[in-house]
């Protein structure tokens, strides 16, 4: 009886309950009620997931918030990239000077909008107004078809995705033969099957006579072999070591520079779109600034957090 009481006290103190199973809990009893009859009155309960866990867990991806310039008018935006200036940056600038900050970083301060950026804004303006010419030339039909026409009844505003402006400025740069991403550039993580490469690696093993100890391999030592001589995926362990790095050829360097240039051009178009949403654009006919709004998947969102091929349209 004493051993049973000790086990019950340990059980109650640890609270080792198993989720999804039915457990038996013995109520606390005084020293005078340690009779078999009282101990037989056990409480049976079912432990399941808490009701808080059913709704408080985060989803797969958080939705893009609504525009901050509507919910928080005091929000400050960068005059270069059009993104939100963090509160820490704003407070730090306010303590140093009485002038509110205009740029979110030193990079944006040194890369202010130039003639190329104004050209992006002019392209957005031409497509938003439904024009068929840009800079004296006819706009291609593919660009006009890329505009998203309104689906709601009575809606006349056009939504101009960033890809349409990119096609208008730089032409159609889509290449069906190119497949971007890491998958084609990394070593396979699947279990390899015996093939010619395994035979070649097997020939690198030195043959020794019995009694000479283990056979040294061509990859013996602490330095990892180059990526093209082993099936080990260098991306698993993080950054490749010096022995695994390959010398960049002129062709690879040219492709890298070309890809970086294309990425910078796309980002320049998105920066222009964010500036249109925050600071507006002057129209020659109306001689006043008109504001735009960022649209992503048919929903008005905060331009600082818009992702994918989002677009802009005139703000009501």
Question: Measuring CA to CA, which residue among 149, 183, 146 is closest to residue 164?
Answer: 146
pLDDT per residue as tens digits for the range 91-121:
665 566 677 889 999 999 999 999 999 999 9
Helices 250-279 and 162-170 meet at what angle, rounded to 10? 120
Rounded to the nearest 5 degrees, what angle is found at the Cα of 101, between the Cα atoms of 95 and 104? 115
Q: What 3-state class would DSSP assign to 84?
A: strand
pLDDT per residue as tens digits for the range 53-85:
555 555 666 788 899 999 888 899 999 999 999
- Give the Cα separation of 238 and 38 in Å (integer): 62
How much is the CA Rg of the chain, to the nearest whole Å?
33
pLDDT at 18: 41
pLDDT per residue as tens digits for the range 194-221:
555 554 544 444 444 455 555 656 555 5
- Phi and psi at 192, nearest 5°, equal -75, 150
Taking a C-beta distance cutoff of 8 angstroms, is the pair 64, 50 a contact? no
Q: What 3-state class would DSSP assign to 45?
A: strand
Q: What 3-state class would DSSP assign to 161?
A: strand
pLDDT at 170: 92
Q: Is 75 exposed, middle or buried (0-12, 13-18, 19+ CB in 10 A)?
A: middle
Of 169 and 46, the structure prediction assigns the larger pLDDT to 169
Tokens of 287: 């001689």
- Assess whether pLDDT exceeds 70 at residue 249: yes
Could you write out the DSSP letters of every residue in 172-203?
----TT---SSGGGS---SPPPS-HHHHHHHT
pLDDT at 151: 81
pLDDT per residue as tens digits for the range 127-159:
999 999 999 999 999 999 999 888 888 888 999
Ramachandran class of 221: left when φ > 0, alpha when ψ lies in -120 to 50, beta otherwise: left
Taking a C-beta distance cutoff of 8 angstroms, is the pair 300, 66 a contact? yes
- Assess whether pLDDT exceeds 90 at residue 86: no
């Amino acid at each position: 009886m004493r051993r049973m009481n000790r086990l019950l006290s340990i059980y109650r103190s640890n609270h080792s309950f198993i989720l999804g199973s039915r457990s038996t809990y013995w109520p606390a009893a005084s020293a005078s009620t340690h009779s078999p009859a009282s101990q037989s009155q056990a409480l049976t309960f079912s432990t399941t997931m808490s009701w808080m866990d059913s709704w408080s867990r985060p989803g797969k991806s958080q939705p893009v918030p609504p525009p901050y310039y509507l919910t928080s008018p005091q929000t400050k935006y960068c005059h270069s990239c059009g993104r939100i200036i963090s509160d820490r940056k704003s407070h730090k600038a306010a303590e140093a000077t009485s002038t509110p900050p205009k740029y979110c970083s030193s990079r944006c301060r040194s890369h202010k909008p130039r003639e190329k950026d104004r050209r992006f804004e002019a392209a957005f303006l031409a497509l938003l107004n439904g024009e068929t010419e840009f800079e004296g030339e006819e706009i291609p039909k593919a660009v006009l078809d890329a505009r998203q026409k309104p689906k709601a009844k009575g809606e006349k505003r056009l939504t101009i995705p960033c890809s349409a402006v990119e096609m208008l400025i730089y032409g159609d740069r889509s290449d069906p033969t190119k497949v971007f991403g890491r998958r084609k550039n990394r070593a396979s993580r699947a279990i390899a099957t015996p093939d010619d490469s395994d035979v070649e690696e097997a020939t690198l093993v030195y043959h020794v006579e019995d009694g000479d100890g283990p056979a040294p391999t061509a990859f013996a030592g602490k330095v990892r072999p180059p990526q093209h001589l082993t099936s080990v995926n260098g991306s698993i362990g993080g950054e490749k070591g010096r022995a695994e790095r390959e010398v960049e050829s002129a062709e690879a360097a040219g492709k890298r520079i070309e890809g970086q240039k294309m990425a910078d051009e796309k980002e320049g178009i998105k920066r222009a779109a964010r500036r249109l949403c925050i600071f507006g654009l002057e129209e020659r006919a109306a001689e006043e600034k008109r504001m735009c709004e960022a649209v992503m998947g048919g929903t008005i969102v905060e331009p600082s957090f818009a992702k994918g091929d989002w677009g802009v349209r005139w703000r009501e």
